Structure 1
Amino acid sequence: MKIACVGLGDIAEKAYLPVLGTRADTELLLCTRNPATLDRLGAQYHVPPERLHTTLDGVLAARPDAVLVHAATAAHAELVTRLVEAGVPTYVDKPLAYELKESRRLVDLAEERGVPLMVGFNRRHAPGYAQCLEHPRDLIVLQKNRHGLPERARTFVLDDFVHVVDTLRFLVPGTPDEVRVHARASEDGLLSHVVLQLAGPGFTALGIMNRVSGSTEEVLEVSGQDSKRVVRDLAEITDHRGQPTVRRRGDWTPVARQRGIEQCVEAFLGAVASGTPLSARDALETHELCERVVLAAEEAGARS
């Protein structure tokens, strides 16, 4: 398969290229506007000059079988629109777009054209989180904190908290009938922390992000029926049933596999190769819930 990676920033270089660059069944194309980055990564992954591109036009002219978009969020809508209109199966880093109306338009366009579109919510594929589906989940608490990074509500939520929102949607054992949002913003409109509560028959889920925390961490707790599972930084799993039992990531387990990136890529490329339909309709529900969080956070900022 001829696979293009559009946008060669930090996430592409750290997470996706190590996966794509080692696949024997993949002919890799690279695209970025930065010639120095293009040459460096082309050399690192032995991509010949004719498969290195500085424009999307060049990528489309090469007729790729699929494209993975890792450009800045602000560029997603334009890039995905062009790819879908060209009939190219597309994988895009979360979120689809900053504005909900644009995300809806992209999902509708892909479905109208019959073009596979997938949003990269890798935590659904991370083993530590996916295995929690086998655990009682009466109460779910996910904290994803950072140090010294308050931000405007829309970028805070769509670029980062979106992972928490989607993971809660993935793990809740039913359909929530109650949604609550609490947010705190400073007088200059920067959001410092947000709490999302989802509740339904027999379960409650809390998603928490503090961007002025004392540390960068991600901790998931699921509990029920006198048992609890804690997943720390997607790598360490502790089961509590009286005495705790700890499992850690194996020394030889790649980080991309631990974080679900490898599995995301495999799911996308496998669906493309087999002709299995892919829709971003469920991912759109995450974007819609994120919009509720953004509006609540902006209201909190207006009251500050």
Structure 2
Amino acid sequence: MNTVKLSFIGAGFHASTNIYPSAIQAGAEITAISTRDLERSRAALQRFGSRGKPYDDYQKMLRDEESDGVVVVAQPQDQSSLVLDCIHAGKNVYVDKPLGWNGPEALQLADAAEQAGVVLMVGFMKRYAPVYMKLKELITGGTLGGARSFQARFAVDSTPFCKDEEQFMKLAAIHIVDLLRFLFGEAVQISGFTNNDNAQISQSISLKFANGIVGSVYFAGMSGWSRESESLTVTFDHGFACADEVVKLTVHHSLTASGLPWQSLAEQDTVFTPSASAMSGGYRDLYLRGFVGEMAHFMTCCREGLTPVSSGRDNVKTMELCDAILSALM
């Protein structure tokens, strides 16, 4: 299998902490990095053990480098123009969310990528997290019967980077919004309530999906949640499954024995968890959160010309759902 060569635009905290190490774990070769400062680009190459070329002009990098794909991890307000330039240069592109600040902006980029015949993938890493991939298998596989309802929670201190409700929805909560689409399909009815004080945000949302699945979501972007937390429980015809903090999935099959459940030790739960080891270093988190999986998927799509699971076209519907939720909040 040939190594996939990737060029990068951006080397900020998120890129350096999550994206670069995950690309290396997935087997990528970093051929070039472009930032606004040549020395910063050179330092990033050295940090990640690459002998690639540093740039302070991404347009020149796009012209000079023959990479299999370009990874864009920049400020949200810059990403659309950067992605469009990559597309016009005929490059496959991975871009961190959000791609476009709303549905129309996302649609423009998805159209451009399809017209250019290039891969366009958006960084919704939760789709590639093992716990949610396992949950998706349960939903589509039918081993617990049909999925009927869900309850989700996502809470984080988003106040340093989200100053209002729209920023919170599109820079933080968007991962759960996209995850719900990945698991359940398209929402057809939305209602919700909000209790906000500028950057301090609390939301309660109810959704019904086209397949009949209903559920509720609790979002909090408040300084009170200094410990980021998330969970998702799905109720099926014959049991339930609880995904907890990205590291555990508990699956319960409802009892079908003839006796009453409290008369014996018949109840059973299956718990899926990763092993823990000092040898994992920081890589355990990158795998469990889905960062390595998404980079591996992007590389496969570049190599084989496939449409990503989290494609630019699919991203349009996620941005539309974010706006629909914001419009429904009272």
Would you say same fold, with TM above 0.5?
yes
Instruction: Spell out the pairing of 1:1-304 with structure 2 (5 A cutoff).
Output: 1-22=4-25, 26-35=29-38, 37-48=40-51, 51-63=53-65, 64-135=67-138, 136=144, 137-147=147-157, 149=159, 151-172=163-184, 175-186=186-197, 189-190=198-199, 192-200=201-209, 201-212=211-222, 213-214=224-225, 215-241=227-253, 242-251=267-276, 252=280, 254-278=284-308, 279-297=311-329, 300=330
CA displacement, residues 227-267 of structure 1 (integer Å, 9 cap, x when unaligned): 22222221122233434443322224732221111111111
Tell me the distance in 2 between the aligned counterparts of 1:65 and 1:73: 24
Tell me the distance in 2 between the aligned counterparts of 1:148 and 1:113: 36
Shift of 1:175: 4.5
Q: 3-state DSSP class of the match of 1:294?
A: helix
Aligned-partner residue type, residue 255 of structure 1: D
Change (3 A) 1:296 1:85: same
Change (3 A) 1:220 1:277: closer
TM-score normalized by the length of structure 2 = 0.81
Aligned-partner residue type, residue 155 of structure 1: Q
Tell me the distance in 2 between the aligned counterparts of 1:7 and 1:27: 13
Q: Give the structure with higher Rg (CA).
A: 2
Gap regions ≥5 residues in structure 2:
139-143, 254-266
Shift of 1:277: 4.2
Shift of 1:202: 4.1
| C-alpha contact 2:7 2:70 (8 A) present in aligned 1 | yes
Shift of 1:154: 1.9
Please, what is the CA RMSD of the aligned residues?
2.3
| C-alpha contact 1:181 1:197 (8 A) present in aligned 2 | yes
Identity within the alignment, %: 24
| C-alpha contact 1:88 1:115 (8 A) present in aligned 2 | yes
| C-alpha contact 1:67 1:89 (8 A) present in aligned 2 | yes
| C-alpha contact 2:42 2:53 (8 A) present in aligned 1 | no
Gap regions ≥5 residues in structure 1:
none
Aligned-partner residue type, residue 173 of structure 2: F
Relative contact order, CA 8 A, sep 6+: which one is greater? 2
TM-score normalized by the length of structure 1 = 0.87
Shift of 1:35: 4.8
Change (3 A) 1:24 1:227: closer
Could you tell which deviates more after superposition, 20-29 or 208-217? Answer: 20-29
Change (3 A) 1:238 1:75: same
Tell me the distance in 2 between the aligned counterparts of 1:107 and 1:24: 27
